[in-house]
């Protein structure tokens, strides 16, 4: 395909923020924190990590939930604190920020690739329906690449995913919803 893939504005802004940060080493350190439910993705990849502020010895990490009821947030907070503690930062506060609301657009390009390799179709692997929601068919199968697939359930193993099945290779797979 002769398409130049464009990076969505939101992703570009996030990347700029990270590159310009005066605590770049802390952003790098937190690449060790993975989402417990999608363990191939870091909290950076997912867009959960919003900001890091250092004030003297005190480090404040701002994270945002993907979905209101995401049960992984407590785990992630603990992991963030642990990683920073281990690196010698004793005074760590993890804060939850709700606004702006998380968007799947924030997911990094590497994150999307890793998702697919892990067997989860990223949001762009399906054409949304007229309401901008998950379509009832044709999300691309991450296993065999076929688009001959159908939605089995609106909600998959977690709130952020829908469940599909491929009619070519017969494998079920999760589709990461666009919100």
Measured CA to CA, the distance from residue 106 to residue 50 in angstroms comes to 10
Dihedrals phi, psi of 133, to nearest 5 degrees: -110, 175
- Residue 88 lies near other proteins (rule: CB under 8 A): no
Which range, of 4-12, 76-84, 100-108, 115-123, touches other proteins by CB under 8 A?
100-108
Distance CA 33, CA 42 (A): 6
- 100 contacts other proteins (rule: CB under 8 A): yes
Contact 108, 11 (CB under 8 A): yes
Stretch that binds other proteins, among 33-41, 77-85, 92-100, 112-120 (CB under 8 A): 92-100
Among 78, 101, 113, 117, binds other proteins (CB under 8 A): 101
Beta bridge partners of 151: 164
89 lies in the site for other proteins, by CB under 8 A: no
The set of residues, in sequence order, having a beta carbon less than 8 Å from that of 76 and lying 6+ positions away, is 33, 35, 36, 43, 48, 63
Please, what is the minimum distance in Å from the beta carbon of residue 44 to other proteins?
Answer: 20
Task: Sketch the per residue contact string, 153 through 172, with other proteins: x for CB under 8 A, - otherwise.
Answer: xxxxxxx---x---------
132: left (phi over 0), alpha (psi -120 to 50) or beta: left
Closest CB to other proteins among residues 19, 99: 99
Binding residues (CB under 8 A) for other proteins: these are: 65, 67-71, 98-102, 131-134, 152-159, 163, 177, 179
């Amino acid at each position: 395909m002769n398409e130049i893939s464009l990076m969505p504005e939101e992703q570009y802004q996030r990347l700029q923020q990270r590159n310009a940060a005066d605590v770049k080493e802390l952003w790098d350190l937190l690449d060790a924190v993975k989402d417990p439910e999608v363990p191939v993705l870091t909290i950076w990849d997912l867009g959960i990590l919003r900001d890091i502020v250092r004030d003297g010895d005190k480090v404040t990490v701002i994270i945002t939930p993907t979905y209101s009821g995401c049960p992984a947030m407590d785990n992630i907070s603990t992991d963030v604190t642990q990683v920073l503690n281990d690196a010698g930062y004793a005074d760590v506060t993890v804060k939850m920020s709700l606004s702006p609301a998380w968007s799947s657009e924030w997911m990094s390009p590497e994150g999307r690739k890793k998702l697919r390799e892990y067997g989860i179709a990223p949001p762009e692997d399906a054409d949304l329906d007229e309401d901008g929601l998950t379509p009832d068919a044709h999300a691309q199968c991450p296993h065999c690449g076929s688009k001959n697939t159908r939605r089995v359930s609106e909600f998959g193993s977690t709130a952020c995913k829908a469940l599909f099945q491929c009619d070519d290779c017969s494998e079920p797979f999760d589709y990461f919803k666009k919100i």
